[in-house]
Structure 1
Amino acid sequence: MRVDKYLWCIRLFKTRSIATNACKKGQVKIDDKNLKPSREIYGGEIIQVRKNQINYKIRVIDIPESRVGAKLVDLYRKDITPKEEFEKTELLKYSKDYYRKKGTGRPTKKDRRDIEEYYDTNEEDV
C-alpha cells in the first residue's frame, strides 16, 4: 500500500491529498529519508511523521484493506512517539502566554514605549 494512502487509512490525516502534500513537503520519513507519496509500505516499518509541531513515530503492524474506523486503528499501527514530544507542545503553550495574555490584542504605543524604555535601562546597566 502507498504511504499516503496508509496514513489516510489509519486516520492520521483527514484527507488523502493532505497526506500526499505532507509526503511531498518532507514531513514523512523512514530511516530519516524523505518519502514520495507512492512509496510502498510494509509491516514492521517505522514511519516518522511531523504534524502540528510534533514528530510522531508509528510502527506499521498490518496493512488495512481500506480506511478503518477510529476504534480499529490500533490493529494496524502502534504509536511509539516519545512523551518528550508532547511535553514540548505544552512548553510552547506556556511560553506564548508569558509575553501577552490571550485576547489582549496588539501592543499599544504605550506598551511599545515601555518595552523600549525597559531595554534601554537594561543596556546601560551592563
Structure 2
Amino acid sequence: MRLDKYLKVVRIIKRRTVANEACDAGKVSVNGKLARASHSVKEGDIIEIDFAQKPVKLEVLTVAEHALKEDAKTMYRIID
C-alpha cells in the first residue's frame, strides 16, 4: 500500500492530500530514509513523521485497504 494512503487509513493524517504534501515536504521517513508518497509500506516498517507539534514514530503492524475507526489503532504501534 502507498505511504500516503496508509497514513490516511490508520488516521494519523486525516486527508490523503495532506499526507502527500507532508511526504513531498520531506517530513516523513520510512526506516530512516526520506520517503515519497508512493513508497510501498509493509509490515515491520518504522515510519517517522515530523508533521505536527510533536514528532511521531510508529511501527506498521498490519496493512489493510480499509479500516474502521476502532480497528485503525491496531494497525500500528507508537514507539517512544
Identity across matched positions, percent: 30
Give the TM-score of the pair, scaled to structure 2. 0.91
Shift in Å at residue 31 of structure 1?
Answer: 3.0
TM-score normalised by L of structure 1? 0.60
Deviation at 1:33, TM superposition (A): 1.6
Deviations 1:21-73 (A, max 9, x none): 0000011002332111001011001100112221101100010122x222111
Matches within 5 A, 1:1-126: 1-66=1-66, 68-80=67-79, 82=80
RMSD value over aligned CA atoms? 1.1
Q: Deviation per CA, 1:49-100: give whole Å up to 9, x if none.
A: 112221101100010122x2221112211111x2xxxxxxxxxxxxxxxxxx
Q: If you compute each CA radius of gyration, which structure gives the higher value, 1 or 2? A: 1
Unmatched segments (≥5 aa) in structure 1: 83-126
Q: Distance in 2 between matches of 1:36 and 1:29?
A: 8
Could you say which structure has the greater relative contact order, defined with CA pairs below 8 angstroms and 6 or more residues apart? 2
- The question of whether the paired residues in 1 share the 8 Å contact of 2:31 and 2:45 is answered with no
Moved over 6 A (4+): none
The separation in 2 between residues aligned to 1:30 and 1:14, in whole angstroms, is: 19
Give the Cα separation in 2 of the matches to 1:73 and 1:9.
Answer: 7
Structure with a larger share of its residues in strand? 2
Matched letter for residue 70 of structure 2: K
Alignment gaps of 5+ in structure 2: none
